[in-house]
């Protein structure tokens, strides 16, 4: 059903949640917010474009979920508590049914994490979603990329390669169980906040493990050695891909939105107990080294060569 | 020249300004910022899509300027002091020359207003710019849309209709002097901040005067009566359009990014002196009334009928 821009904005406004720290929400030239005194504000922005960041014909509720999830994942990687977000939405045509379904997905995830939509705009254009997410973190306790030390363990939450596996299977098996990991990634917000006291560095796995861990190494001026056989795989991924095909998906596939973090070896037990408390798989996959760059080794200890080192949008 | 996503981000990072309240800028999963204690945060987000919000073949420096200007204009309309922004940039292909020129325009305006670019992303897609801008305002002193009172004067800064005039002339005279007002709008940041103590309500003129003043009326539960012959026009607009064609551009044309505000009649002298101090034309164009809706009247006092009431992206 076609309708006007102001009708679409009214639909968003009617359903956007609120919080005590929102002085003025959607409906003016800008939102007015009251940041908590003494804490830092973590701010991140990520865009999803149709056909680039999600397949064409993805369900609108899944698009809504993912547009917020990739931004919550960045807040998680900082150890931040989600608070507010803006949404800029470009749509080829006005469509209230699409908008309602999109909001179903976006607001379901927003509600899980107590983040409120406070502004944005709706314009005509090729399907594109730009979200800016804001959260709070105590001064000095954010999980940055630049704190890894030689000797630290390297860890990863959840399983790797599922989203990349779903993309490989997309044409043949569009409804494969792995598809849900591509369409509805789980931002590791609780894990990130709990890790703020334990991890020395953290990044979310959006471009692929080796590429993202490479960002930690570059910012921390260290290297890393990753043990390919230790990389965690889901049952669904193991069923769908053999031992030859799987490592590339796990080490270089993007879009998993797990957290890769480093921590002193003395924290192993505390990390295990945190994982148990959160009911979240957390796997030790390697070690930070002096030097630079990420080296991956196979079961025989030989250097493993990835087919590519992450997703470069202009590569 | 083609290059990768990370090269483009490096170019942005190298040129982004900084501020004392930026704890961590571009280069991590999120920026870390230190908001000033006790002040409110004003947050706004606006997207520009090629062919919708700016003509195809617009110079990249002008696109950069305008992408930030439309967001600064929203902060201005709240009376806020600009502080930080994020930029999500979708580009059909990687092009460092385009990016450098784009940043020339974006950062020139950012420098004028002390706003620092703290994050964002760069992805492949149809040309689109999404900016989220953040600024500060003292608690209780923001210029909202909901404070207009019956009897208040209605004012507007600068001149109206220039951008709409440039669009009319675009094919015939693409380099007409009015074009600069379309490509390089001036966000009225200083005026907005100064008006925070005087105005009862404010909105920026992005969709057209009648439409935007209509937002004030709706939120304030009042009406407005606008005197068409009083609407300020630039020399360039008067040269290019006669008395019959001009009013529609001034009353209903979008993209001027002037401020339309309301104020008690007792503030007329203070507003005039503020205008003089800022060297900015400020014109009284009508009155807030009891009732609802915006009525425009011509020189004879008859109701003037606009050809359209603003720009609806899906209209």
What's the pLDDT tens digit per position in B170-181? 999 989 999 999
Return the residue in A16, A40, A45, A91 with the most chain B beta carbons within 10 A, the one to mutate for interface testing: A45
Asked if A230 contacts A304 with a C-beta cutoff of 8 angstroms, the reply is: no
Q: In this predicted structure, what is the pLDDT of residue A99?
A: 92
Tell the residue number behind the tokens 């493990």, with chain if given. A209
Chain B neighbors of A84, CB-CB under 8 A: 43
Judged against a pLDDT cut of 80, whether residue B201 lies above it is answered with: yes
CA gap B285, B200 in Å, rounded: 16
- The dihedral over CA atoms of B87, B92, B97, B102, expressed in degrees to the nearest 10, equals -30
pLDDT tens-digit readout, B29-88: 999 999 999 999 999 999 999 988 898 889 999 999 999 999 999 999 999 999 999 999
B53–A28 C-beta distance less than 8 A:
no
Q: Which residues of A279-295 are buried (b: 16+ CB within 10 A; e: fewer)?
A: ebebbbbbbbbeeeebe
Q: Distance from B308 to chain A by nearest Cα, in Å?
A: 14
Chain B neighbors of A74, CB-CB under 8 A: 29-30
B41–A35 C-beta distance less than 8 A:
yes
> B156 — phi, psi (to 5°)?
-140, 145
Which structure tokens are listed for B44? 């706004």
B145–A29 C-beta distance less than 8 A:
yes
Mean of pLDDT over chain B: 93
The pTM of the full predicted model, rounded to 2 decimals, is: 0.94
Asked if B259 contacts B77 with a C-beta cutoff of 8 angstroms, the reply is: yes
Distance from the Cα of residue A109 to its chain's centroid: 13
B120–A125 C-beta distance less than 8 A:
no
Chain A residue with the nearest C-alpha to that of B44: A30
Q: In this predicted structure, what is the pLDDT of residue A1?
A: 38
Of B66-70, B213-217, B244-248, least confident by mean pLDDT is: B244-248
How confident is residue B11, by pLDDT bands cut at 50, 70 and 90?
A: confident
Average pLDDT over residues B197-205: 97
Strand pairing category for A259-263 and A153-157: antiparallel
B24–A41 C-beta distance less than 8 A:
no
Average pLDDT over residues B115-134: 94
Return the residue in A51, A314, A315 with the most chain B beta carbons within 10 A, the one to mutate for interface testing: A314
How confident is residue B2, by pLDDT bands cut at 50, 70 and 90?
A: very low
Chain B neighbors of A19, CB-CB under 8 A: none
Looking at chain A, the number of H-run helices and the number of E-run strands are 10, 12
Chain B neighbors of A193, CB-CB under 8 A: none
Which structure tokens are listed for A114? 């107590």
The closest CB to that of A121, out of B45, B91, B202, belongs to B45
Report ipTM for this prediction.
Answer: 0.94
Judged against a pLDDT cut of 90, whether residue B193 lies above it is answered with: yes
B49–A313 C-beta distance less than 8 A:
no
DSSP state of B306: P
Q: In this predicted structure, what is the pLDDT of residue B279?
A: 97
Chain B residue with the nearest C-alpha to that of A73: B29
DSSP per position, B25-54: -BTBSSEEE-PPTTEEEEEEEEEEEBTTTB
CA gap B3, B97 in Å, rounded: 10
Q: What averages of pLDDT result for each successive group of 10 residues across chain A (315 residues)? A: 66 87 95 96 96 91 98 98 96 90 96 96 92 97 97 98 96 93 97 96 97 97 98 97 94 96 98 97 98 94 72 51
The closest CB to that of A4, out of B3, B4, B315, belongs to B315
Sheet holding A39-49, edge to edge: A116-124, A81-91, A128-138, A39-49, B31-33, B22-24
B3–A47 C-beta distance less than 8 A:
no
DSSP state of B267: G
Q: How far is CA A234 from CA A162, A256, B158, B195, in A?
A: 7, 12, 62, 59
Average pLDDT over residues B152-156: 98
Judged against a pLDDT cut of 50, whether residue B1 lies above it is answered with: no
Q: In this predicted structure, what is the pLDDT of residue B312?
A: 55
Contacts of B260 (CB under 8 A, 6+ apart): B154, B155, B156, B202, B203, B204, B205, B209, B212, B213, B216
Q: Distance from B37 to chain A by nearest Cα, in Å?
A: 6
In this structure, how many other beta carbons lie within 10 angstroms of the beta carbon of residue A67?
A: 25
Q: In this predicted structure, what is the pLDDT of residue A315?
A: 43
Contacts of A293 (CB under 8 A, 6+ apart): A214, A217, A223, A224
Chain B residue with the nearest C-alpha to that of A87: B45
Share of chain B above pLDDT 70, in %: 95
Contacts of A116 (CB under 8 A, 6+ apart): A16, A17, A18, A19, A22, A25, A83, A84, A85, A110
Q: Which residues of B73-93 are buried (b: 16+ CB within 10 A; e: fewer)?
A: bbbbbbbbbbbbbbbbbbbee
A28–B219 C-beta distance less than 8 A:
yes
Q: In this predicted structure, what is the pLDDT of residue A16?
A: 86
Q: In this predicted structure, what is the pLDDT of residue A95?
A: 87
Judged against a pLDDT cut of 90, whether residue B10 lies above it is answered with: no
Burial of B126 (0-12, 13-18, 19+ CB in 10 A): middle
> A238 — phi, psi (to 5°)?
-65, -35
A125–B27 C-beta distance less than 8 A:
no
CA gap A173, A178 in Å, rounded: 10
In this structure, how many other beta carbons lie within 10 angstroms of the beta carbon of residue A299?
A: 11
Tell the residue number behind the tokens 């630049």, with chain if given. A146
In this structure, how many other beta carbons lie within 10 angstroms of the beta carbon of residue A176?
A: 18
Q: Distance from A235 to chain B by nearest Cα, in Å?
A: 29
Q: Distance from B130 to chain A by nearest Cα, in Å?
A: 7
Q: In this predicted structure, what is the pLDDT of residue B309?
A: 46
A314–B2 C-beta distance less than 8 A:
yes
Contacts of B88 (CB under 8 A, 6+ apart): A45, A46, A47, A88, A130, A132, B120, B121, B122, B123, B129, B130, B131
The closest CB to that of B125, out of A122, A128, A202, belongs to A128
Q: In this predicted structure, what is the pLDDT of residue A14?
A: 84
Chain A neighbors of B121, CB-CB under 8 A: 45-47
A128–B126 C-beta distance less than 8 A:
yes
CA gap A222, A149 in Å, rounded: 7
Asked if A120 contacts A47 with a C-beta cutoff of 8 angstroms, the reply is: no
Chain B neighbors of A38, CB-CB under 8 A: 37
How confident is residue B12, by pLDDT bands cut at 50, 70 and 90?
A: confident
């Amino acid at each position: 059903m076609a309708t006007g821009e102001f009708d679409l904005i009214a639909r968003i406004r009617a359903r956007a949640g609120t919080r005590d720290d929102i002085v003025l929400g959607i409906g003016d030239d800008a939102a007015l917010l009251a940041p908590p005194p003494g804490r830092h504000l973590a701010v991140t922005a990520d865009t999803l474009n149709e056909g680039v960041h999600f397949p064409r014909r993805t369900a609108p509720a899944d698009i809504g979920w993912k547009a917020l999830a990739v931004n919550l994942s960045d807040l998680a990687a900082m150890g931040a508590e989600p608070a507010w977000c803006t949404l800029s939405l470009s749509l080829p045509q006005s469509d209230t049914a699409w908008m309602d379904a999109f909001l179903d997905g976006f607001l379901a995830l927003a509600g899980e994490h107590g983040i409120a939509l406070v502004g944005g705009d709706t314009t005509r254009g090729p399907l594109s979603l730009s979200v800016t997410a804001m959260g709070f973190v105590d001064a000095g306790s954010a999980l940055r990329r630049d704190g890894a030390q030689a000797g630290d363990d390297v860890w990863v939450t959840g399983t790797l390669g599922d989203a990349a596996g779903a993309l490989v299977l997309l044409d043949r098996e569009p409804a494969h169980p792995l598809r849900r990991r591509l369409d509805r990634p789980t931002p590791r917000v609780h894990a990130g906040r709990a890790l703020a006291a334990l991890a020395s560095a953290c990044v979310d796995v959006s471009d692929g493990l080796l590429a993202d861990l490479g960002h930690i190494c570059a910012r921390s001026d260290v290297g890393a050695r990753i043990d390919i056989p230790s990389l965690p795989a889901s049952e669904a991924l193991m069923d769908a891909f053999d031992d030859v095909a799987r490592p590339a998906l796990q080490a270089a596939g993007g879009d998993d939105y797990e957290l890769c973090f480093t921590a002193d070896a003395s924290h192993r037990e505390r990390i295990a107990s945190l994982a148990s408390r959160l009911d979240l798989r957390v796997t030790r996959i390697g070690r930070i080294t002096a030097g630079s760059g990420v080296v991956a080794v196979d079961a025989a200890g030989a250097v493993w060569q990835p087919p590519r080192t992450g997703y470069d949008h202009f590569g």
